Amino acid sequence: MTLEKRTHIANKTIQICGSKSISNRLLILNALFQNVKINNLSDSQDTRLLQEALASDSEIIDINHAGTAMRFLTSYFAIQPGKDVVLTGSERMKQRPIGFLVDALRDLGAEIEYLGNKGFPPLKIRGKNIVKSNVKIPADVSSQFITSLIFIGAKLPNGLNIELSGKITSRPYIDMTLQILKIIGIETEFSGNRISIKNHTFDDKKSNIFHYVVESDWSSASYFYSLSAISRKNISLKSFNNHSYQGDSALKEIYWECFGVNTVTDIQEHTISLFPETFIYPDSIKLNMNDCPDIAQTVCVTATALKVPFELTGLATLKVKETDRLLALQNELKKIGCETEISDDAIKSVNFTDPDENIVIKTYHDHRMAMSFAPFSLIQNLEIEDETVVEKSYPKFWEDFNEVTEPIN
């Protein structure tokens, strides 16, 4: 896709679909308890793939690139007595580690074997009744491993106690999971590095139907924060809550403190409006993004467009996403005029240069690479390779992007 140099059209309102993170959690909970009715479900490819997997009677479940589905379904199928499945995915998925989650489930008594490389999908899972109630897992791996275990806790006869070892990564996502469980009546406790989930049964599911309206996705909102910061024009986004359990809602503070974009919330309309204000940019942006790594790409592109030096840390999980996002960022930021240094968990700008004359952004099969670099078209023409990758999390992205921007004639 070629994006000619564009301008941002002010005073537009965009309806962003439901959060993929919340939607996928609710789908698993409904599969476990059959009493959750979901409104504003995400229309992302990941959510659709999870729905199809939960409804499938096949012995082979292929979730393609959907990492969330891989992790959540591993625990889900492990506690389905009499159900044998092979859980597999794309070639990239077969390179994404899942060993810590499998080890934890095996410690509980699950029967899971690797069909390829040890520690990686595909997995052969033989569902069974699990009675053990104590497990330990590293806290500095994907929070989705921990969430996956939390889900099954309330279905185990003795509940589940999870001990987290080390520093917790992406804690807001764990808090989000526990809050959703609390809303549907499941008792949990998170104290120090220990999570406890009590066994729960609904005696009468029909009288315990929970209607849940999914808040829109904050990571999807990040690309419009970037547009607003670069253009210095306002935009409104729906449907967002004043207080959110999504870790990526840190956008509000980050874009205010770093780029001078003020977020004004209309509580009754569930709308946020972004208003860039007169602002003196900091000499350097230094952020620990351990709690919100998925918006790091957007922040890097925004800072590059505005020539604001940056150093982002807490990004260890980016190396095992759809691609090695730190390496991908380093490669593509150079094309738009930013040379960087990267380590295992950080990226730092070292020099700003003139962008390439002909910018071609590789996406590496990563939806966030396509969407985070799109706002740079406010600065210069650019081409996005494989623009369809946005279907993974935000199928309507290009439609919405074209609604609020237009080429400069």
Active site residues: 294
Instruction: Write the single-letter amino acid at 81.
Output: P
| Residue 363 CA neighbour count, 13 Å, CB half | 21
- Upstream peptide bond of 122 is cis (omega within 30 degrees of 0): yes
Rounded to whole angstroms, the Cα distance separating 383 from 367 reads: 15
Q: For residue 107, count other CB atoms closer than 10 A to its CB.
A: 13
Sheet holding 382-384, edge to edge: 2-3, 382-384, 360-361
CA angle 84, 48, 249 (to 5 degrees): 115
Rounded to 5°, angle at Cα 319 from 342 and 371: 90
Lookup: tokens for 167: 């520093």
DSSP states of 5-21 as a string?
-EEEPSS-EEEPPBPHH
Q: According to the 3-state scheme, what is the secondary structure of 169-216?
A: CCHHHHHHHHHHHHHCCCCEEEECCEEEECCCCCCCHHHHCEEEECCE
Return left, alpha or beta for 59; rule: phi > 0 is left, psi -120 to 50 is alpha, else beta. alpha
Which residues, other chains included, contact 214 with Cβ-Cβ below 8 Å and sequence gap of 6+? 18, 19, 22, 23, 26, 38, 39, 40, 41, 42
Query: How many angstroms separate the CA atoms of 126 and 64, rounded?
Result: 21
Nearest-angstrom CA–CA distance, 82 and 228: 53
Cα distance from N-terminal residue to C-terminal residue, the chain: 18
Per DSSP, the residues of 287-305 read EE-TT-GGGHHHHHHHHHH
Reduce the secondary structure of 39-101 to three states and give it as a string: ECCCCCHHHHHHHHHHHCCCCEEECCCCHHHHHHHHHHHHCCCCCEEEEECCCCHHHCCCHHH
Do 342 and 313 touch, CB atoms closer than 8 A? no
